[in-house]
Chain A
């Protein structure tokens, strides 16, 4: 206790000499091998008045900064501290004369300290004066750089000659020069020799020589295989050494290099050292972490075995340092092999319990500012987060621990030092994170939440930040959601008053996380008002969040429309296309809000300056629903038009294109403005516009308004059908923006919770959300947001315009999706449902005999509304008409809601045919025109007559049909499971007879039959050979006619 106090004083008074520039980067968890944009760190440190950047980099990661002629980049070499120093000084000129003098003195001092370093210091003496501002000036012109290189090269030449000299160097000199090389390397120069000497040092018996050797290897050696073998040899010797210091050096080297070669050589050895009874504690610590490093680099090379259970028991070790190291190792291993390390849970809990209940003096060395073993507690709590809540017995003990930690947070601090509160809160936050992870103890969750609530107003920025962050995860738990909500006022206050932008950002995140139906209006309002002053960097994210919350929790859609329009007004630039697409989708889909939306956008558009996004939304909504407010003389059709057109010249091309579509929609909505609009379309600025899209629209719309009758206009310019519901594209965008790791979990949790609210946005394949952003100019009517509804296509595609010009509104729709599949299903059966969408169901029932058949088609109206002008048509190509004759009677043109009508088709097969007839159905439903096409499953095999025959006959006929044109063979992959019974059923359903005991191989199927047509009869033989191993089939058809063989083979191949 007293020692801690004393140290503190020293630190405060002396450790940190005034204005002593410098920085140390410790590499933790292999960061720098992965981190690329180090410029960012550099810029930041530069900016933060840091003038010396010294990076101590341990581990495999070589690091990091290489500064060359004012150009910072990441290199493979180690640090270049001095370069950084020069860089900063160039920019800041903060060095003063006396500081340089002071530096010199201390250099000399250091020089006396270690004789081996004397030369090194001399080299540095040359180095330091360059920091003088005047010299800096020279340096910036490139002169001192040369001087420095000259000096370094001289030194390198000297070392080289020593190494190459006749006299064998003694260990001491070797160490001295290797150390110098290392220093020169650290200065940022390439070192291409000395590796052998460093390796030689490894086999020295003196600690200092060995240590420099290992350091050189750890810092400089990359996977130079030749060298690694030699190094591994030395490491192996030291691992087995009886001197624990040497073993430690070897282990540190392995842990720092951690290459695959080392893993191959030592992964088997280290677990033995770790669990051996006579290993010293400090070696155990190193061995545990060394193993961890090897497991991280090459998990496949670290075999699990007996040692795992003994490692778990290290958690019980007397030495807390060993426990700390073991906890790190076990946490990592348990993440991959939870079963193997399950026993660690109860051990960790009992160890934790002993720590948290101990008095602050009990643990002596491991008490840090009156907090018992804070780092070990954090490690143990982290280990427990690898597992679900433990068994009841252990659980009770754990709950006690967690309660104790929460209680301690309430006690008055034992020291005023920030170190004390930091250490205490480190444990507290980790405990809260475990409580949230278990998410099973409502009592603890609420207590945790209240504790964090206290931190929200703490004077420490760090604590406020961390509390907000931690609360975000608590908000997603059903037990603590309400408790989090009680802090809403504080969080909103933080948003308004917090000075640090990163804390404000966390406050926004938390507001988003705690939002539900009860507080949505308040939160959205606060976010909107914050948006006016928010930092530019986070505006887009806030916009997305507001848009999502407004939609998700809207009770009243007028509020939703208001919110989004406000959003566009306040932060129009940050409103992405997804946001305004979404508001239009919602307005189109909800009748109750359309009138209000039209009125509101009309009012918003009257502002002298409004954002282009508002013009887009306004144009779209007035084009669709302008008629709803046209009754008011203040928003008469002409006023609406003039209002929109006054914005026209300020807009970009896509918006103008959209406005042109609005105008043509106006022509339909308000016949009285037709003349005005035609004048606008006819004007040179439109008809001869340089932009081809605008010009085309103007030409086509003008023509359309002139040529088409009112009826056609009404059809073409019909109100948009509802958009299909799917995942909000905004949510998808937010996820993308935030990155998968940060938002998704929270988002998923929120979604589950709110699934009952407004139906929640439906989870949909990601592709659906990307499909919703076509460029406005690509879509002829600028209707943008949705792909066509899969049922009767809405009157939006280019096809319809063409129809209008030809004045013939009955083109055949393309085949409905899925029609091919349905068609294939009917090849082997005669009855079933052929087609179904939200409106219509088509069923079939058919029978065939010889070359004749009859098919009943049933049309079911699934809606409650009448279908009008219901016209099914059978369409056959000329080819098909010659070979297949179909006769049918027209059906009643109205189909009542819920009713079914039936149509009979008489079929005669005149000759063999390949194509299938198409059934096209057109009707009107609720004012919209529907057009559906499906393939009618009348296929050649329907006219099969099965023929039984004996094996002998079969093969005789088979041989008769040996002409190459008569045989068609197909080898194909099985699309369905290869089940014998199903295959038999399919062959019989296909129409041929299934001949048993004909083929010598019982696994094969053979069939025979006759196709009847009016003109002729065609004998058919078929043979199907399954190959179970390859999941393949070979199908062979032999008939007397080539086309028949071909067609039957096609049809039957599709079935398996």
Chain B
């Protein structure tokens, strides 16, 4: 959701970003049709999630963090290059945690156990 800035950071409104602010996009689309975008920033990384407009904002905000913690554990201090060059593994992590547009598993222990099991098959 465009107006839910990541925790611990100043609001990332287009106007405050400077530089391109003169071409700031219209804000309306962020509540686009029946969807909204919830995002969380980790330094330069933005994790965005699109959900129905009446979905629970905070639950999905934390779902992102849960996901990032799993990535971090799995890749041992994840950086975005881990994500880029192991893109096929990222897909696996996503499938373990989110499937068919819904939350599948929230337990980090269980997800990691499964991921390690799959890793051992390689």
Q: Taking beta carbons and an 8 Å cutoff, which residues of A are in contact with B?
A: 7, 10-11, 14-32, 34-35, 37, 39-41, 43-54, 56, 58-59, 81, 91-92, 103, 106-107, 110, 117, 120-121, 124, 179, 182-183, 186, 206-208, 211-212, 215, 218, 245, 252, 255-256, 258, 282, 285-286, 289-290, 292-293, 296, 320-321, 324-325, 328, 364-366, 368, 373-376, 378-379, 382, 418-419, 422-423, 425-426, 429-430, 461-462, 465-466, 499-503, 537, 741
User: Which residue on chain B has the smallest CB distance to residue A121?
Assistant: B85
Whether B58 lies near A26 (C-beta < 8 A) is: no
**Chain B residues whose CB sits within 8 angstroms of the CB of A103 once the complex forms:** 81
CB neighbours (8 Å) of B42 from chain A are: 15-16
Complex contacts, B60 vs chain A, CB 8 Å: 28
A interface SS class: helix
The residue in B14, B62, B65, B71 that gathers the most chain A C-beta atoms within 10 A of its C-beta is B62
Say yes or no: A59 contacts B101, CB within 8 Å: yes
Q: Number of B residues contacting the other chain (C-beta, 8 Å)?
A: 91
Mind listing 26 A-B residue pairs with CB under 8 Å?
A16-B42, A21-B45, A23-B48, A24-B83, A26-B94, A28-B50, A29-B102, A48-B14, A58-B94, A92-B19, A103-B81, A110-B86, A179-B88, A208-B121, A215-B91, A282-B114, A286-B99, A289-B104, A321-B104, A365-B109, A368-B66, A374-B62, A462-B61, A466-B57, A501-B13, A537-B26
Are B45 and A16 neighbours in the complex by a CB distance under 8 Å? yes
Contacts of A18 in B (CB 8 A): 43
Contact of B8 among A45, A58, A81, A418 (CB under 8 A): A418
Q: In the bound complex, what is the Cα–Cα distance between A14 and B75 (angstroms)? A: 12
Indicate whether A17 sits within 8 Å of B43 (C-beta atoms), given known contacts A56-B91, A423-B58, A537-B27. yes
Contact with A along B41-76 (1 / 0, CB 8 A): 111111111111100111111111111110111000
Question: Does B50 lie within 8 Å of A29, measured CB to CB?
Answer: yes
Residue B49 contacts which of A26, A182, A423, A462 (CB distance < 8 angstroms)? Answer: A26
Give chain A residues whose Cβ lies under 8 Å from the Cβ of B98.
26, 28, 58
B14 near A44 with CB under 8 A, answer yes
Which residues of chain B have C-beta atoms less than 8 A from A44's C-beta?
2, 14, 25, 30
Q: Return the chain A residue nearest B60 by Cβ.
A: A28
Chain B residues with CB under 8 A of A212: 88
Q: Which residues of A contact B122 (CB under 8 A)?
A: 207-208
Q: Mark B106-120, 1 if CB is under 8 A from A, else 0.
A: 111110001001100
Residues B44 and A422 in contact, CB atoms below 8 Å apart: no
Interface centre among B21, B29, B35, B102 (most CB of A within 10 A): B102
Known contacts A52-B80, A430-B59: does B95 contact A58 (CB below 8 Å)?
yes
Partner of A502, one of B3, B46, B51: B3
Nearest CB on A from B39, distance (A): 8
Q: How far is the CA of A423 from the CA of B58 in the complex (A)?
A: 7
Q: B100 to A292, Cβ gap below 8 A?
A: yes
Query: What's the Cα separation between A379 and B63 when bound, in Å?
Result: 13
Kindly list chain A residues whose C-beta atoms are within 8 Å of the C-beta of B47: 23-26
Known contacts: A20-B43, A289-B102. The answer to whether A29 contacts B59 by CB under 8 A is no
Complex Cα–Cα for A22 and B41 (A): 10
16 other contacts beyond A289-B102, A500-B13, with CB at 8 A cut-off? Answer: A15-B42, A20-B45, A22-B46, A40-B29, A58-B91, A58-B98, A59-B101, A106-B79, A110-B81, A182-B88, A282-B114, A285-B105, A286-B104, A419-B62, A422-B61, A461-B3
**Bound: A27/B46 CA distance, A:** 14
B51 contact from A28, A110, A364, Cβ within 8 A: A28
B7 to chain A, nearest CB (A): 4
| Chain B neighbourhood of A49, CB < 8 A | 12, 17, 44
Q: Closest approach, in angstroms, between the C-beta of B56 and any C-beta of chain A?
A: 5
Instruction: Determine how close the nearest CB of chain B comes to the CB of A686; give it in whole angstroms.
Output: 43
Taking A186-B87, A252-B95, A503-B3 as contacts, is the C-beta distance between A37 and B29 under 8 angstroms? yes
| CB-based contact A328/B102 at 8 Å | yes
Which residue of B is nearest A55, CB measured?
A: B48
Q: Min CB distance, B30 to chain A, in Å?
A: 7
Q: Nearest Cβ distance between residue B28 and chain A, in whole angstroms?
A: 8
Residues of B within 8 A of A40 (CB): 25-26, 29-30, 32
The residue among B2, B72, B88 with the most chain A CB atoms within 10 A of its own CB is B88
Complex CA–CA separation, A81 to B106 (angstroms): 28
A37 to B27, CA, bound (A): 12
Query: In the complex, which residue of chain B has the Cβ closest to the Cβ of A45?
Result: B46
A321 partner, pick from B3, B44, B62, B107, beta carbons under 8 A: B107
A residues near B78, Cβ cutoff 8 Å: 15
Is the beta-carbon distance between B99 and A289 smaller than 8 angstroms?
yes
Top 6 A-B pairs, shortest CB-CB distance: A29-B101, A22-B80, A21-B44, A426-B58, A293-B100, A23-B46
Bound Cα distance from A325 to B99, whole angstroms: 9
Where the two chains meet, the residues of B that have a C-beta atom closer than 8 Å to any C-beta of A are: 2-5, 7-8, 11-14, 17, 19-21, 23-30, 32-35, 37, 41-53, 56-69, 71-73, 77-81, 83-88, 90-92, 94-95, 98-110, 114, 117-118, 121-122
How many Å lie between the Cα of A501 and that of B11 in the bound state?
Answer: 11
Asked if B59 and A22 sit within 8 Å, CB to CB, the answer is no
CB distance from A710 to the nearest CB of B (A): 57
Bound complex: CA A193 to CA B101 (Å): 29
Residue of A nearest to B13 (CB): A500
Contact in complex: B83, A22 (CB < 8 Å): yes
B80–A54 CB distance below 8 A: yes
Structural contact, B58 and A422, CB atoms closer than 8 A: yes
CA distance A252 to B118 in the complex (A): 14
Determine whether the beta carbon of B106 is less than 8 Å from that of A375: yes
Whether B83 lies near A418 (C-beta < 8 A) is no
**B72 to chain A: which residues have CB within 8 Å?**
7, 10-11, 14-15
* Of A91, A106, A365, most B-chain CB atoms within 10 Å: A365
Asked whether A502 lies within 8 Å of B27 as measured between CB atoms, the reply is yes
State in angstroms the CA–CA spacing of A120 and B88 once bound together: 13
Interface centre among A49, A121, A373, by most B CB within 10 Å?
A49
Distance, CA A364 to CA B64, complexed state (A): 20
**8 Å CB contact of B50 from A31, A110, A215:** A31
Which of chain B's residues has its CB closest to A18's CB? Answer: B43
Chain B hits for A30, CB < 8 A: 101
The 8 Å CB contact of A28, one of B11, B30, B83, B101, is B101
Is the CB–CB distance between A324 and B104 below 8 Å?
yes
Contact assessment for A25 and B90 in the assembled complex, using a CB-CB cutoff below 8 Å:
no
Chain A neighbourhood of B33, CB < 8 A? 34-35
- Quick check: A418 and B7 within 8 Å, CB to CB? yes
Least CB distance from B114 to A in Å reads: 6
- Chain A residues contacting B59 (CB-CB under 8 Å) are 374-375, 378, 423, 426, 430
Enumerate chain A residues within 8 angstroms of B29, measured Cβ to Cβ. Answer: 37, 40
Q: Which residues of A contact B87 (CB under 8 A)?
A: 56, 183, 186
With most chain A CB atoms within 10 A of its CB, the pick from B60, B68, B79, B99 is B99
User: With the chains together, A21 CA to B53 CA distance in Å?
Assistant: 28
B79 in contact with A17 (CB, 8 Å): yes
Bound-state CA distance A47–B16 (Å) is 9
Contact present for A56 and B94 (CB under 8 Å): yes
Please pick, from A19, A92, A425, the residue contacting B58 in the complex, using a CB distance under 8 A: A425
| Chain A positions within 8 Å of B88 at CB level | 179, 182, 211-212, 215
CB distance from B69 to the nearest CB of A (A): 5
Q: Are A29 and B121 in contact (CB under 8 A)?
A: no
Minimum distance in angstroms from A980 CB to a CB of chain B = 53
| Chain B residues with CB below 8 A from A52, complex form | 44-45, 80
Cα A366 to Cα B113 in complex, Å, equals 14
Shortest beta-carbon distance from A753 to chain B in Å: 22
User: Is A29 in contact with B58, judged by CB distance below 8 angstroms?
Assistant: no
- Cα(A45)–Cα(B43), bound, Å: 13
Contact A24 B48, CB 8 Å, known A15-B72, A183-B87, A258-B100: yes
In the complex, which residues of chain A have a beta carbon less than 8 angstroms from the beta carbon of B102? Answer: 28-29, 289, 292, 325, 328
- Min distance, Cβ B121 to any Cβ of chain A, angstroms: 4
Would A293 and B101 count as touching, CB distance under 8 A? yes
Q: How far is the CB of A176 from chain B (nearest CB, A)?
A: 12
Most buried by A among B3, B23, B67, B77: B3
Known: A22-B80, A321-B104. A16 touches B43 (CB 8 A): yes
